[in-house]
Amino acid sequence: MIGLFWNIRGVHSSLRRLLYLIKTYKLQFLSILEPLVDDDQLEWYKLKLGFSKGFFALNNKLWFLWKDDLLSLHTVIEETQILTCGFKYAASSSTLWISSVYGLHSRVEREGLWTSLRSLAPRSEPWIIGGDFNTVVSITEHKGEVCPDLGSIRDFANAISDCELVSPPFLGSQFTWTDGYNDFFFRQAWDVVKIDVVKAVQEFFMGIPLPKVFGSTLITLIPKVEGAITLDQFRPISLSTFFSKILSRILSDRLKKVLPSLISPEQAAFQSGRSINEHVLMVKEMVHLLSSNARGGNCIIKLDLSKAFDRISWRYLEHVLLRFGFSQRVINLLLGNLRSTFFSVLVNGQPKGFFPMKCGVKQGDPLSPLLFILAMEGFTRYLHHLHHTKKLAPSHLLYADDIVDCRNLLRLKAALSHFGNASGQAINFNKSQVIVHDKMRQEHKAKIRSILGIRCHTREFTYLGSVIVKGKLRKIHCQGLLQKFERRIAAWYSRKLNQMGRLILIKHVLSSIPLHILAVQEIPRSIVKCLHMLMANFFWGARDMGHKYHWRKWEKLCFPLLEGGLGVRDLGNCQRAAAMDLWWKIKGESYGLMVFIPLGRFMLSPLIINLSNCLAVIFGIKGIFTKEISGLWCTYAAAAKAPIAARPWTFQQQLLSWWFSSNKNSFLGNVHKRGCYGCYKQASSTMVLG
């Protein structure tokens, strides 16, 4: 007699796996716990699974199915936590008793279960008992840090002894749930698990369905804002099994190789070789264009997609992959890891519920971001199509779920509605903004609000973590950065930290907070000085702006360890290095489309950039010429020459391929392979690039 007891927690989501087990092991009876579907669907599932008889019990928490050509039912005993069925073999008159157990959670509630088992025990016929007892018979069967209830273990063991039951030998996997093994375990025990892991991965790529254990995922809610109360103020992070991450990593590594040929330049998210800094620069350029002449005025529409990762439609994603030319087999592999996912939500540290994933992608999974940008590429291509057909003429940027768009409000609204209906995405109107010039007429603002249903703003706004304003950042624009520093430091003061602990927090947390802003914008010197002061006071132990003697200047502490410092970042040097890096990318061959486009606005000729007109994207570069690169300028007579190529400028290496113009005062030559091909200074604020 071969049967199966399974706490399936949703029969619909595990139907393929169940059919596979029935076919492989030729099951004669089936006891399903927690089917999680209405009892009126039992008849359909019974026929689908190939059983001729069946019924539900325990308030539809248990289904029992069997084949009447082998077994004939004659007795049913239903109690609170146990269902017992008496069968007669069709080929003989012998009797078989089968009991399905659905144990309750607490020790007190399970007392009735042990009493029921003892009352059923005096039998001479064969008796099979299985199900979910919600406890273990020995502490050796438990895995985890929290010790199980020893009283519950003793009660279970006594019931088995009193009923004279015998446990069959164990075969198969030790776990039917997430075992919690991380990458450290797999590395340490690789010699033991290598063959099984490789075989399981190969079976997945052969199309064999994943067991539910591999798809079981815990969801933890991370607050997006302080004092989060409502669900939309939390970010759901998926804690998947390590084996599931192995499959996702393999698929993502293969998918990354083809993404550059599929994704448009407007998307920079989750792709190597593309930077969000270019998008921030482009948005600054768009802010500068707000004051340009246009009928009705210009506007910037900043849209936020509500729960973008969680709402994306699988049907839409599959259609996009098909249009890109992916085969159905590859699509099944890419989406198979999502379709086999089951969620439990961590509430106060305890998992609650168990339900299948129906749409969206998992946050925290390496494959999910790539699938999301492929889905959003459909929206990008749709905007391109509208632009080429003269139905829409915006400039658009996509970075994950942040979208910036200009003009053509009515057609844009229709395009967004069409995209939302197809993909399942929805606009979060509370976080979306329309940025307009402060001199725009009120009737135009009212028209924008009536069409889009989004509020209009004339002040600065935040995009990808950077404050976007016209021109330079002022001190008032950096108050949020200062407050973030102060909140971090105030939280750390409540802990007992020695000076080494404070140094680690400064080097790896505090000094990293402003780096994404420094990469694209120039922070005022007063703010940099204030940030240095906050870090210095925290390092030396001063609280609430109190005085504590600083035994060494902060500038000295920022020196490398080999030079007597502590290796802390100097934010001023970081800002100058970021500005030089930005110029290097623009002048070299590594600039992207988002930087190249605004450069065209300032090109007086194919070789000349007018720096005096640069107010937005090139603002930081203009500062480089007046501060940083000016220190490298060398002025010579018309025919003068100097052995610059022989000088050890950087890393004790010589600069390569330097040459000088015979009739102009050259100061930079052909710097390395990516560098500036001849720059020279003129009397006006114009730089010539050759």
Strands (E), 103-162: 127-132
Distances (CA, A) of 318 to 258, 326, 331, 551: 17, 9, 7, 63
State the pLDDT at residue 610: 45
Verify that 267 and 119 share a domain, yes or no: no
Question: What's the Rg (C-alpha) of the chain?
Answer: 34
Q: How far apart are the first and last CA of the chain?
A: 85
Per DSSP, what are the bridge partners of residue 267?
398
Tell whether 582 is covered by a domain: no
Domain boundary among 448, 468, 488: 468
Q: Look up residue 570 and give its amino acid.
A: D
- Residue 229 scores a pLDDT above 60: yes
Q: Count the Cβ atoms, other than its own, within 10 Å of residue 125.
A: 10
Say if residue 671's pLDDT is above 50: no
Of 225-239, 595-609, 668-682, which range is least confident?
A: 668-682
Residue 561 has pLDDT above 60, yes or no: yes
Residues 57 and 90 occupy one common structural domain? yes
Strongest mean pLDDT among 28-32, 336-340, 384-388, 587-591: 28-32
**Are 555 and 640 contained in the same domain?**
no
Residue pair 670/657 in contact (Cβ under 8 Å)? The answer is yes
The answer to whether residues 97 and 123 touch, using CB atoms and an 8 Å cutoff, is yes
3-class SS string, 255-312: HHCCHHHCCCCCECCCCCCCCHHHHHHHHHHHHHHCCCCCCCCCEEEEEEECCHHHHC
Residues 242 and 302 in one domain: yes
Residues 619 and 545 in one domain: no
Do 436 and 405 share a structural domain?
Answer: yes
Q: Which residues of 592-615 are buried (b: 16+ CB within 10 A; e: fewer)?
A: bebbebbbebbeeeeeebbbeebb
- The single-letter DSSP state of residue 427 is B
Phi and psi at residue 64, to the nearest 5°: -125, 120
The answer on 421 and 331 residing in a single domain is yes
pLDDT of 296 higher than 80: no
Considering 413, 448, 468, which residue would you say is the last residue of a domain?
A: 468
Tell me what the mean pLDDT of segment 81-106 comes to. 88
- High-pLDDT (> 70) share of the chain, %: 78
Q: What is the rounded distance in angstroms from the CA atom of residue 98 to the CA atom of residue 112?
A: 18
Query: How high does pLDDT run on average in the chain?
Result: 77
**Dihedral of CA 154/156/160/162: which sign?**
positive
Task: Output the pLDDT for position 194.
Answer: 86
Give the integer Cα–Cα distance in Å for 439 and 296: 12
- Whether 517 maps to a domain, the answer reads yes
What are the pLDDT digits (tens) for 127-184? Answer: 999 999 988 888 777 766 566 788 888 889 888 888 888 887 666 545 444 455 677 7
In-domain check, residue 169 = no
User: % helix / strand / coil in the chain, to the nearest 5?
Assistant: 40, 20, 40
- Say yes or no to pLDDT of 271 above 60: yes
Count of C-beta atoms within a 10 Å radius of residue 323: 11
**Are residues 241 and 178 in contact, defined by beta-carbon separation less than 8 angstroms?**
yes
Residues 6+ apart with CB under 8 A from 660: 636, 640, 641, 666, 669
Segment 595-624 mean pLDDT:
47
| Cross-strand bridge partners of residue 434 | 301, 456
* Percentage above 90 pLDDT, the chain: 16
| Band of residue 599 on the pLDDT scale cut at 50, 70, 90 | low
- Between the alpha carbon of residue 256 and those of residues 273, 369, 371, 475, 594, the distances in Å are 11, 11, 10, 41, 21
CA angle at residue 214 from 209 to 217, to 5 degrees? 125
Q: What is the 3-state secondary structure (H, E, C) of 66-99?
A: ECCCCEEEEEEEECCCEEEEEEEECCCCCEEEEE
In the numeric block, which tokens belong to residue 15?
Answer: 């139907």
Q: What is the pLDDT of residues 140-153, one digit of tens each?
A: 777 665 667 888 88
Sequence letter at residue 366: P
Same domain assignment for residues 538 and 522: yes
Q: Tell whether the model's pLDDT for residue 471 goes beyond 50.
A: yes
Rounded to whole angstroms, what are the CA distances from 675 to 434, 588, 658? 39, 5, 11
Does the structure show a pLDDT above 60 at 258? Answer: yes
Q: Is the pLDDT of residue 615 over 60?
A: no
Q: Look at 28 and 586; give whichever has higher pLDDT.
A: 28
Read off the pLDDT band of 64 (50, 70, 90). Answer: very high
Residue 484 lies in a domain: yes
Query: Do the domain assignments include residue 114?
Result: yes
pLDDT at 254: 92
Handedness of CA 225, 227, 232, 236 (dihedral sign): positive
b or e along 84-114 (b: 16 or more beta carbons within 10 Å of the residue's beta carbon)? Answer: bbbbeeeeeeebbbbbbbbbeeebeebeebb
SS3 at position 328: helix
Candidates 145, 175, 161, 153; CA nearest to 241 is 175
Range of the domain at 21: 3-162
| Pair of tokens at residue 597 | 């486009």
Residues 278 and 253 in one domain: yes
**pLDDT score for 593:** 53
Per-residue pLDDT tens over the stretch 571-588: 988 888 887 777 777 665
Position with higher pLDDT, 328 vs 296: 328
Structural domain contains residue 172: no
Residue 371 falls inside a structural domain: yes
Does 445 reside within a domain?
A: yes
d(CA 141, CA 414): 59
Structurally, the chain folds into a number of domains equal to: 4
Residues 252 and 293 in one domain: yes
Going 259 to 264 to 267 to 268, the CA torsion angle's sign is positive
Structure tokens of 346?
């961590």
Lowest-pLDDT range of 23-37, 243-257, 297-311:
297-311
Report the CATH number that the domain containing residue 41 is assigned in CATH.
3.60.10.10
pLDDT at 316 over 70: yes
Q: Cα(203)–Cα(67) distance, rounded to whole angstroms?
A: 31
Per-residue pLDDT at 373: 92
- Does one domain contain both 464 and 498? no
- pLDDT at 632 exceeding the cut of 70: no
Mark whether 156 and 272 lie in a shared domain: no
Among 575, 595, 622, which residue terminates a domain? Answer: 575
- SS3 category, 3: strand
Residue 622: the pLDDT is 54
**pLDDT at residue 190 greater than cutoff 90:** no
Q: What is the DSSP string of 620-678?
A: HHHHHHHHTGGGG-----TT----GGGSEEETTEEPPS----SSS-EEE---TTTS-S-
Instruction: Tell me the average pLDDT across 334-345.
Output: 86
Determine the pLDDT at residue 171.
61
Burial class, 521, CB count within 10 angstroms (exposed 0-12 / middle 13-18 / buried 19+): buried
